[in-house]
Structure 1
Amino acid sequence: MNLDKTQIGLAGEYYVLAQLTARGYIATLTLGNTKGIDILVTNQEINKFFKVEVKTTTNPHKIEKLFSDKPAFHWTMSKKHEDIKDSNLIYCFVLIENAGIMPKFYLVPSLAVAEYVKWQHEHWISTRPGVMKETSMRKFRIEMDDPNNYLDNWEIFK
């Protein structure tokens, strides 16, 4: 796939919007007008609103022995994600492997993302004391075998 970063991001958002709509949720794109929120979702059955931040990658899995011996997908995050702990915010990590194949959707509560992003950065820095300089870049990883059952976790909106 030869898409630029903006196209990849938009494709992910539209895929997620389609999945939410097909599941009966009322969902709308914010189109960049709401910082840190890509999609607003309403579950009318329980009268609850959710915010969704979509992170999309086309990167294949890889093994990063520092974190696990298991292959994992990863998405780029930033330091700010360590502090975002909103019970109504859901991250949808989208993996687009090929335009002809339905992407994979990993839905994760913001608290789990914040805890992991903080932990992974501290772990990364601790393995190289005095060598690594502080940076705002972070990563969120999901192992291919998905031990947390984030794959297609659409029930998170109920």
Structure 2
Amino acid sequence: METQLSEIITKEIFDKQKVGLSGEFFVAAELLKRNFQVSLTFGNAKAVDIIAFKDELYPKKIQVKTLRTHNAYTVDKNKLLGNYFVFVILNKIGQQPIFYVIDGETINANLRRFYGSSIDSKRETINYGSLKIYKDNWKVLE
């Protein structure tokens, strides 16, 4: 019984990592199409997912948050400033992912709008509904 539980937990962690990594690669591809130089960071305790730049003097620190389907993204409000965020919905195989692109300052200036009732809770989340107007908002990175 303990072995089965361990296998289930390991599978869930591995699946979560694959979802996250998929989102990072999709975002990197989109940035490369837009003429950015892109560097993905790897590891479980990293401060940023992607560093991207067109001008070497102004690198963009990008956090990628990925879900399989529409839901809420867990985001620590204390890590907003200085970062850009790309929220990804992977969708089903054969369907294109959806990207919501926004800077952390915009989220920080409107915490109630983005976090709703989860603000200051144990698990602060941003609902995708508040991100809809930022769909494919890649220009924020220019």
Normalized against structure 2, the TM-score is what?
0.76
Rounded Cα–Cα distance in structure 1 between residues aligned with 2:110 and 2:122: 15
User: Which one-letter code corresponds to 1:109 in the other structure?
Assistant: D
Rounded Cα–Cα distance in structure 2 between residues aligned with 1:55 and 1:102: 16
User: Which one-letter code corresponds to 1:138 in the other structure?
Assistant: E
Q: Secondary structure at the match of 2:134?
A: coil
Q: 1:8 aligns with which of 19, 22, 36?
A: 19
Rounded Cα–Cα distance in structure 1 between residues aligned with 2:80 and 2:67: 23
Q: 1:117 to 1:99 in 2, by over 3 A?
A: farther
Corresponding residue number in structure 1 for 2:106? 112
| Deviation per residue, 1:28-62 (Å, 9 max, x gap) | 10113773300000123x842100000000133xx
Counterpart mapping for 1:125-136 below 5 A = 135-136=121-122
Q: 1:139 aligns with which of 118, 125, 135?
A: 125
User: Which one-letter code corresponds to 1:91 in the other structure?
Assistant: F
Q: 1:155 to 1:94 in 2, by over 3 A?
A: same
Q: Secondary structure at the match of 1:143?
A: helix
- Alignment partner of 1:99 is 2:83: no
Q: Which runs of 5+ in 1 are unaligned?
A: 61-72, 126-133
Greater relative CO, 1 or 2 (CA 8 Å, sep 6+): 1
Q: 1:33 to 1:139 in 2, by over 3 A?
A: closer
Structure with more of its chain in helix, by fraction:
2
Rounded Cα–Cα distance in structure 1 between residues aligned with 2:86 and 2:28: 11
Q: Which runs of 5+ in 2 are unaligned?
A: 1-11
Structure with more of its chain in strand, by fraction:
1
1:157: how far off? Answer: 1.2
Q: 1:124 to 1:74 in 2, by over 3 A?
A: closer
Q: Secondary structure at the match of 1:156?
A: helix
Q: Secondary structure at the match of 2:117?
A: helix
Normalized against structure 1, the TM-score is what?
0.69
User: Which one-letter code corresponds to 1:141 in the other structure?
Assistant: N
* Matched pairs, number: 130
Q: 1:122 to 1:25 in 2, by over 3 A?
A: closer
Q: 2:77 aligns with which of 76, 82, 85?
A: 82
- Alignment partner of 1:23 is 2:34: yes
